[in-house]
Amino acid sequence: MYTWLHVLDWRATSDPNVLAVSDDREQLTYRQLQDRVEKTAASWYGLGVRAEDVVAVISHNTVEFLVQTLGLMRLGAVPLLVNWRMTGHEIDRLLEIATPVGIFADESCRSGVDNRDDLIRVVDGPGGDGWNAVVGIAGPAAPYPHNRLRSDQVAFLIHSSGTTGLPKVIPLDHGSLIRGLAGFAIDIGDQQRGSRHLVMMPLFHLAGFAQAMQCFLTGGTLFIQDGFDIDRVIDTVAHDGINFFTAAPTIIEMLVDALEGARLGADLSSLREVQYGAAPIESALLERALRVVCSRFRQIYGSTELQGFLSVLRPEDHVPGSDRLASAGQISQGWEARIVDHSGRTQPDGQAGELWVRSENVIREYWRNAEETEAAFTDDGWYRTGDMAILDEDRFLRIVGRTKDMIISGGENVYPAEIERALLEHPAVVDVAVVARPHPKWGETPVAFVVCAANAVPAEGELARHCRERLAGFKCPSSIEHIEELPRNALGKVRKVELRERLVVSSS
């Protein structure tokens, strides 16, 4: 029996007066956080929610988001963390899959689910029109769901970002996330009682939620921000003595730009380490970041289905100019990984193929979706990640694309990541994404969407020549499209589906 509720009970007993969490509106010690979680469980129980019921949580990053999520866990219910950026139609489609009995929403998100008067509804704001206000609900203590509060039980649900199509609901259990984060904390070494963590990644994503849970696991204090504002991040680090935060490389670059420009001289000396994911960090950016941000960077690679991190590129491997910067680090403890060809045969070291993984931490199934589960897992328990990757002899992992992103042009396999890296070597290119365009003769050809630095647009044909000097002919983009900004999801990953749709529209 070891769950996130046991972690909270432990902290409330051993560190009752330590500040647990803070946002713009309130601060709670670990004892106060536990008390609020108990009251929240009682409130939902009084409204009719029972153990194993699903309740959707649709909210921006706040203390109340965590209180509601942990309160539902305490009741034995299953919180579904919903991306509030979705449209009402998309949310309805997700709720049809998850079949919740209730919804918690903050005031800014309630309009997207105002039509769901068939569900129990609680709002962090004024009640009325079928909504119960958080502050207006009270009730006796909820019964303790012993059968639900076990390490192997589902703790909460997260849905896929939609990058690859229809949403998939992913059940995460208590034990897997605790094991993974405990191992990660041991590897970091100095995340300890009283450490200060800043979370700005969305809490509805595992990247944000896991950071919050790791802070609680190690007895730290969590400072919550809703989204990324460069000046606010710098001011918070300086004023509150932040030691750790997680960000995508694009955000790190914005931070570096500010610290070399308008915020030159800002005091970030409290920072011990910055963790990042979604993509490798470019050598030139790392060199600048080591100079003005902090001395330790750590890359993490994983996915929601893995319930944590598969590989880590540790600080000692963050050496400007090193080939290892292009990797996602070494495979972590407790994981088996193999690279396979299209027939499932293991590839030798250094050869690209699909990454398959196996571990006790991988989810067992998609929520009520036997078809997707069967497609994702082999009979002997390997999970097909869908990532195209290379493993070297030292077990460093390099992600080269997605299986669906791989372009087959004239019978040759073309990996978008290779073209993207080549284009990023041009001094005018600051961002790039490559997708496939159907071709009547070759089957597919690569098309590059390129973002150039202000006032640095290359001459016509210059980028094409740049590619021809670095890539085989069949790998060179058949077209290079200039774009002001690449579409990205909340984790900073490029939404290539939107770029493919743009090609379809332009061709029609």
Q: What is the CATH number of the domain that holds 379?
A: 3.40.50.12780
Q: Is residue 191 in some structural domain?
A: no
Average pLDDT rounded to a whole number, residues 125-136: 92
- Same domain, residue pair 431 and 307: no
Q: Is residue 193 in some structural domain?
A: no
Q: Is residue 208 in some structural domain?
A: no
- Which range, of 61-65, 106-110, 472-476, averages the lowest pLDDT? 472-476
- Same domain, residue pair 340 and 430: no
d(CA 446, CA 470): 15
Domain finish residue from 174, 192, 219: 174
List CB contacts of 74: < 8 A, sequence separation 6 or more: 5, 37, 38, 40, 41, 142, 149
Binned at pLDDT 50, 70 and 90, residue 154 comes out as very high
Burial class (CB in 10 A: 0-12, 13-18, 19+), 421: middle
Q: What's the pTM value of the predicted model, to 2 decimals?
A: 0.85
- Same domain, residue pair 33 and 111: yes
Tell me: pLDDT of 134 over 60.
Answer: yes
Q: Is residue 347 in some structural domain?
A: yes
Q: State both tokens at 187.
A: 């590897």
- Same domain, residue pair 397 and 416: no
Tell me: pLDDT of 507 over 80.
Answer: no
Tell me: pLDDT of 165 over 50.
Answer: no
Considering only CA atoms, which of 93, 65, 69 is closest in space to residue 79?
A: 69
- Same domain, residue pair 91 and 148: yes
Q: State both tokens at 493.
A: 């990953």
- Same domain, residue pair 324 and 432: no
Residue with tokens 């995460």: 172
Total domains in the chain come to 3
Task: Please write the tens of the pLDDT for every residue from 420-471.
Answer: 988 999 999 999 999 999 887 787 899 999 999 988 889 999 999 999 988 8
Looking up residue 48, the CATH number of its domain turns out to be 3.40.50.980
- Same domain, residue pair 69 and 44: yes
Looking up residue 492, the CATH number of its domain turns out to be 3.30.300.30
Cα–chain-centroid distance for residue 427? 29
Q: Is residue 211 in some structural domain?
A: no
- pLDDT value at residue 269: 97
- Same domain, residue pair 110 and 159: yes
d(CA 453, CA 435): 21
The domain in which residue 332 lies consists of: 228-402
Q: What are the C-alpha distances in Å from 192 to residues 13, 80, 84, 214, 238?
A: 17, 29, 32, 10, 20
Q: Is residue 188 in some structural domain?
A: no
Tell me: pLDDT of 140 over 70.
Answer: yes
Domain finish residue from 384, 402, 420: 402
- Same domain, residue pair 413 and 343: no
Burial class (CB in 10 A: 0-12, 13-18, 19+), 292: middle
Helices 249-260, 230-240: axis angle to 10 degrees equals 80
Domain finish residue from 350, 385, 402: 402
- pLDDT value at residue 164: 39
Instruction: Return mean pLDDT, the chain.
Output: 92
Average pLDDT rounded to a whole number, residues 146-165: 81
d(CA 463, CA 455): 16
Q: Is residue 280 in some structural domain?
A: yes
Burial class (CB in 10 A: 0-12, 13-18, 19+), 50: middle
Task: Please write the tens of the pLDDT for every residue from 237-295.
Answer: 999 999 999 998 888 999 999 999 999 999 999 999 999 987 788 899 999 999 999 99
Q: Any idea how long the chain is?
A: 508
- pLDDT value at residue 466: 94
Q: Is residue 256 in some structural domain?
A: yes
Binned at pLDDT 50, 70 and 90, residue 118 comes out as very high
- Same domain, residue pair 435 and 469: yes
- Same domain, residue pair 427 and 379: no
d(CA 137, CA 43): 6
Tell me: pLDDT of 390 over 50.
Answer: yes
Check if the beta carbon of residue 225 is closer than 8 Å to that of residue 200. yes
Check if the beta carbon of residue 434 is closer than 8 Å to that of residue 422. no
- Same domain, residue pair 485 and 398: no
d(CA 180, CA 209): 13
Tell me: pLDDT of 508 over 60.
Answer: no
d(CA 388, CA 383): 13
